[in-house]
């Protein structure tokens, strides 16, 4: 009887406490964030619903600028101890929306719709590329070191290689990504359009990766500069090149 009597009071107190927390000024938000990983300025609104005029996050290749950032925190998710926040950012032609939820030590990302300049790839690749990258995922489950599960598409529109001799147009491509098992990602790559046709599969299984791509030209022959570059990493086959790579994924500390 005593527990039945006190339980409603505890629930009411928890709701009041959460409501008061969500109404706290947004300028206090940096106190709860790792300043090295997330940097916000020009903050207004509340913890539950606010705006940062400028935002950037740390990535393995350096800080990624998000521009103007808006967020809305779901009050019921806080009550269930699984906070869920909707994020929306705009910076020039770069924009993105997603729902972010904390699940223990993992982050569950849902309804991801992000569009960025493919030039950002130079942070992780030793070549200059251009075009527009679109990340369209229903769900991503990640930790600080791993991608546990994924369901979505990566689209590269108007891809081009900025070679030392000039711009080399490649085409438009899509990788459909799924998780047959935990910590395993399989990407099926196809060409949507363009002079350079690529098709194959990328398999990331825990600590190991396997890449099998066939690259050819939709015309009579590949561009000479592109063919020379491919010959350094791929094996020539009839009408094109076969790129096969496998190994272990390099992990940061």
Q: Considering the chain, what percentage of its residues have pLDDT values greater than 70? A: 88
pLDDT of the residue at 54? 94
For residues 87 and 110, membership in a common domain is answered with no
For residues 219 and 249, membership in a common domain is answered with yes
Q: How many residues does the chain have?
A: 253
For residues 20 and 39, membership in a common domain is answered with yes
Q: Examine the fold and report which residue of 92, 109, 142 is the final residue of a domain before the chain moves on.
A: 92
Q: Domain tally for the chain? A: 2
For residues 50 and 108, membership in a common domain is answered with no
For residues 239 and 173, membership in a common domain is answered with yes
d(CA 130, CA 109): 26
d(CA 194, CA 128): 18
For residues 25 and 113, membership in a common domain is answered with no
Q: For residue 76, give Cα distances in angstroms to 31, 84, 125.
A: 23, 9, 42
For residues 98 and 36, membership in a common domain is answered with no
70 pLDDT more than 70: yes
For residues 136 and 232, membership in a common domain is answered with yes
Average pLDDT for the chain: 85
Six-digit token string for 195: 């002079």
Q: Examine the fold and report which residue of 77, 92, 107 is the final residue of a domain before the chain moves on.
A: 92
Structural domain span for residue 5: 1-92
pLDDT of the residue at 12? 47
Q: Considering the chain, what percentage of its residues have pLDDT values greater than 90? A: 45
For residues 189 and 81, membership in a common domain is answered with no
Residues 6+ apart with CB under 8 A from 105: 143
pLDDT of the residue at 137? 97
pLDDT of the residue at 215? 94
Alpha-helical runs (H) found in 65-152: 75-79
Put simply, whether the predicted model's pTM sits higher than 0.85 gets the answer no
Q: Examine the fold and report which residue of 92, 120, 144 is the final residue of a domain before the chain moves on.
A: 92
For residues 178 and 213, membership in a common domain is answered with yes
d(CA 44, CA 39): 14
């Amino acid at each position: 009887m005593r527990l039945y009597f006190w339980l409603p009071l505890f629930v009411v107190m928890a709701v009041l406490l959460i409501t008061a927390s969500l109404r706290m000024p947004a300028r206090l938000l940096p106190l709860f964030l790792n300043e090295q990983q997330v940097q916000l300025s020009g903050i207004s609104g509340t913890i539950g619903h606010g705006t940062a005029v400028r935002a950037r996050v740390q990535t393995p290749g350096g800080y990624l600028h998000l521009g103007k950032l808006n967020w809305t925190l779901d009050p019921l998710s806080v009550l269930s101890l699984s906070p869920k926040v909707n994020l929306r950012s705009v910076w020039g032609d770069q924009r993105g929306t997603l729902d972010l939820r904390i699940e223990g030590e993992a982050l569950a990302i849902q309804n991801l719709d992000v569009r960025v300049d493919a030039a950002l790839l130079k942070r992780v690749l030793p070549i200059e590329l251009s075009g527009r990258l679109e990340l369209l995922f229903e769900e991503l489950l990640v930790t600080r070191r791993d991608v546990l599960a994924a369901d979505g598409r990566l689209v590269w529109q108007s891809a081009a290689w900025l070679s030392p001799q000039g711009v080399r147009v490649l085409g438009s491509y899509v990788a459909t990504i799924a998780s047959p098992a935990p910590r395993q990602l399989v990407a099926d790559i196809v060409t949507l359009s363009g002079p350079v046709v690529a098709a194959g599969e990328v398999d990331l299984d825990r600590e190991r990766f396997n890449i099998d791509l066939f690259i050819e030209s939709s015309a009579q022959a590949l561009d000479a500069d592109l063919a020379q570059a491919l010959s350094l990493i791929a094996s020539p086959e009839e009408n094109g090149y076969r790129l096969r790579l496998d190994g272990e994924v390099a992990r940061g500390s």
